[in-house]
Amino acid sequence: MSYLANINWPEDLKALNKEELPEFAQELRSEIIRVCSLGGGHLASSLGAVELTVALHYLFDSSKDRFVFDVGHQTYGHKILTGRKDRMESIRKPGGLTGFTTSSESSHDALTVGHASTSIAAALGMVLARDARKESYEVIPIIGDGSLTGGMALAALNQIGQVKPRMTIILNDNEMSISENVGGLKNYLRSMQVQPWFQRAEKSGKQALGNFKMIAELGSRAKHAARHFLDPVSLNPFHAMGVRYVGPIDGHDIDQLLYYLDHIKQLDGPTLLHVITKKGKGYEIAEADPIVWHGASKFNPQAPVAPAKGYTWADAFGDAAISMANSDDRVWVITPAMRIGSGLDQYSKVHPSRYIDVGIAEDVAVTTGAGLALQNEKPIVAIYSTFLQRGFDQVIHDVCLENLDVIFAIDRAGLVGGDGATHQGIYDLSYLRALPNMSIAMPKNATEMQSMLKKALELGGPKAMRWPRGGVKQAESADMTTWADISWGTWERLKTGTEACILALGPTLDYALEVAQGQPNIAVVNARFVKPLDEKMLLELASSVKALITVEDHTIMGGLGSAVAEFLADHQLKVPLKRLGIKDIVIPHGDPNAQHEEFGYGPEAIRAALIELGISTPQVLAQASD
Ligand code: HTL
Ligand code: MG
């Protein structure tokens, strides 16, 4: 029988008998697989959290209790159960549901999220508010083992151990981040599953938990004994921070989940429930390769194979890094948990001794890079634009102030597509440009990327290079010694023109070239260095053309356009300037190419800007009215 057909809201789920829940969980799982097969999505994490999601919704009321999912990528089941079942096929698509939890999408989404490790701190704030207002709802952060590697999560736990609010923290431990999880805590968590005391505790744990409240109210000796049973080793790090530890329990056994969640909610103070799950649970291929099926592209559920992807910017960086590390044994690459996404799978195998995955800890990645540089090593810190935001202070304080030789390899610069608002890489130029000693470049292709990396290594100092998500043509030579020299801080004239010049960056160069094609009055420049600008060329242009247009896949405030405007103002140059890029708004998920036009910096927008600037040649007008 189909339960799902009649279940749209948590109330419908609550109408089922407890015995019916495992079967319903299977239906929920099938629906998640179906939805992801149609349009892709975070399949493996959502599958692993199915039973947990069912148990939470069966026991609590997400319209008032706050489920604070960390990252939010494991919430497809939660979305289906909270009134969004009929819109699931739209997930991550333009105008559709977001891929993470988003408060504006549903009142059942307690937190808008996408970056890791925030759930426990946000939940602490909610619990403080609840207790200050003497209200009685539950606040339940649900955090993965990967996300627990972030300093923010650990610092928030530490604070909870001080404040000791009544709350349940669920640690959803599948021993995986996107790739294998890393770190000492991971080893500890794994050891919890094989300790002999755990096997004993598993048998009698339920009974002990049932009696816990009663025992805890007895004298201190009994209290101590009870605590020791549930919180078994005095070295337990959660216990040490002042948070009661219960577990580990089987996160695919709904009965167990209900039992423990129900009992823990009756306890005072904070309790962490350690739940063991399998990433990709219930779908053979996803269980076998949870890395590939972490973020799936659409697939045929009858014959599921992950589609082959073409050569990407990340691959180009990974190949370049291998070559650099081959030629210089002081080159290192650091990633905060993004081995695959940053193109480092091969690098990690070829140069394992100069590769570090620090976990979801961008701050640690940056400052570890600083430490290496202080000892004369040559670190490359590979971070997505959006996640480097987490390491901002470290970039200033630990790298730039000391002018250290750290290369920042920034992937996913610009709009990123399905991941949407939380993951857009559109602020890095603004936040890096202000920093002393920092240099920022954006190559137009993989060959230019190689030259920039080589030069950055040679020059030293903090050097940031950014590139977009997606495909790029493979560079010809993998051998660093053959890579062309590039003069740092110089732009490249791609097309001459007499009346206007379009200064474009990265992927927007194609738009500029498309608009200028066949137009003798329009010049195009690859403005590949945003800091320093090519001041010589800019001065020449300012006195030789009637107008300038900047185009960038980045927020206008603080980006290339701002840099050019500042330069013109500082030199009292009166040439009209039009700046195209992202305005001061949040950009949702969508198709990046369509969004470039929609948000005002695609080819049509460039044509309109030319007309506005009075560069209304017949050709431009003809194209604009097409
Ligand atoms: N850095 C930060 C600050 N936030 C995010 N979201 C990432 C990197 C990228 N990221 C994810 S999901 C994920 C990472 C590293 C793994 C999380 O592991 P966890 O959950 O154990 O918490 P699991 O995948 O279910 O095992 C996304 O961007 C979606
Ligand atoms: Mg995990």
Query: Residue 222: is its pLDDT beyond 70?
Result: no
Q: How far apart are CA 505 and CA 582, in angstroms?
A: 13
Query: Residue 577: is its pLDDT beyond 90?
Result: yes
Closest residue by Cα to residue 36 from 337, 278, 312, 285: 285
Ligand 1 and 149: CB distance under 6 A: no
Determine the Cα angle at 173 with ends 171 and 175, to 5°: 150
Closest residue by Cα to residue 538 from 603, 489, 605: 489
Provide the β-strand partners of residue 142. 69, 170
Residues with C-beta atoms within 5 A of ion ligand 2: 144-146, 174, 176
In angstroms, what is the C-alpha Rg of the chain? 27
φ, ψ (nearest 5 deg) of residue 239: -55, -45
pLDDT for res 208: 55
Contacts of 103 (CB under 8 A, 6+ apart): 109, 110, 111, 112
Lowest mean per-residue pLDDT among 96-100, 211-215, 618-622? 211-215
pTM over 0.85, yes/no: yes
DSSP conformational letter for 12: H
Ligand 1 and 45: CB distance under 6 A: yes
Residue 450 near residue 423, CB atoms below 8 Å: no
Mean pLDDT within 330-349: 98
Ligand 1 and 177: CB distance under 6 A: yes
How much distance in Å is there from the Cα of 192 to the middle of ligand 1?
Answer: 23
Ligand 1 and 248: CB distance under 6 A: no
Lowest mean per-residue pLDDT among 96-105, 211-220, 553-562? 211-220
Ligand that lies nearest to the alpha carbon of residue 148, given by its number in the listed order? 1
pLDDT for res 303: 83
CATH C-level class of 492-625? alpha beta
The larger pLDDT score, comparing residue 195 to residue 516, is at 516
Ligand that lies nearest to the alpha carbon of residue 150, given by its number in the listed order? 1
Query: Residue 57: is its pLDDT beyond 50?
Result: yes
Query: Residue 196: is its pLDDT beyond 60?
Result: no
3-state secondary structure of 83: helix
What's CA 91's distance to the chain center, in Å? 17
Lowest mean per-residue pLDDT among 197-211, 379-393, 564-578? 197-211
Q: How far apart are CA 581 and CA 565, in angstroms?
A: 14
Please state the atom number of ligand 1 nearest to the C-alpha of residue 390: 3
CATH C-level class of 313-482? alpha beta
Catalytic residues: 279, 362, 390
Q: What is the mean pLDDT of the chain?
A: 93
How much distance in Å is there from the Cα of 314 to the middle of ligand 1?
Answer: 18
Q: Please state the domain extents for the chain.
A: 4-295, 313-482, 492-625
Please state the atom number of ligand 1 nearest to the C-alpha of residue 72: 29
pLDDT digits (tens, 9 = 90+) for 145-183: 999 999 999 999 999 999 999 999 999 999 999 999 999
Query: Residue 475: is its pLDDT beyond 80?
Result: yes
Query: Residue 12: is its pLDDT beyond 50?
Result: yes
Closest residue by Cα to residue 539 from 505, 511, 485, 575: 575
Mean pLDDT within 2-6: 95
Please state the atom number of ligand 1 nearest to the C-alpha of residue 114: 6
Ligand 1 and 335: CB distance under 6 A: no
Lowest mean per-residue pLDDT among 181-190, 212-221, 268-277? 212-221
Q: Which two tokens stand for residue 73?
A: 């990528």
Query: Residue 605: is its pLDDT beyond 80?
Result: yes
Tell me the pLDDT band of 387, cut-offs 50, 70 and 90: very high
**Which of 42, 52, 53, 71 most suits a substitution to test ligand 1, by most atoms within 8 Å of the C-beta?**
71
Ligand 1 and 115: CB distance under 6 A: yes
Closest residue by Cα to residue 377 from 325, 439, 342: 325
Query: Residue 209: is its pLDDT beyond 60?
Result: no
Find the helix or strand (DSSP H, E) in which 257 lies.
helix 254-264
DSSP conformational letter for 391: G
**Which of 69, 113, 142, 178 most suits a substitution to test ligand 1, by most atoms within 8 Å of the C-beta?**
178
Ligand 1 and 387: CB distance under 6 A: yes
Ligand that lies nearest to the alpha carbon of residue 357, given by its number in the listed order? 1
Tell me the pLDDT band of 619, cut-offs 50, 70 and 90: low
Mean pLDDT within 605-611: 96
Q: How far apart are CA 449 and CA 442, in angstroms?
A: 8
Query: Residue 305: is its pLDDT beyond 90?
Result: no
Ligand that lies nearest to the alpha carbon of residue 71, given by its number in the listed order? 1
3-state secondary structure of 301: coil
pLDDT for res 446: 98
* CATH code assigned to 4-295: 3.40.50.970
pLDDT digits (tens, 9 = 90+) for 420-449: 999 999 999 999 999 999 999 999 999 999
How much distance in Å is there from the Cα of 252 to the middle of ligand 2?
Answer: 15
Ligand 1 and 116: CB distance under 6 A: yes
Residue 70 near residue 143, CB atoms below 8 Å: yes
Closest residue by Cα to residue 464 from 387, 398, 397, 380: 380
Residue type, 50: V
DSSP conformational letter for 353: G
Contacts of 357 (CB under 8 A, 6+ apart): 179, 182, 335, 336, 337, 339, 348
Provide the β-strand partners of residue 407. 380, 463
Task: Check for a shared fold between 4-295 and 492-625.
Answer: yes
Mean pLDDT within 590-617: 94
Lowest mean per-residue pLDDT among 190-194, 390-394, 528-532? 190-194
DSSP conformational letter for 414: B
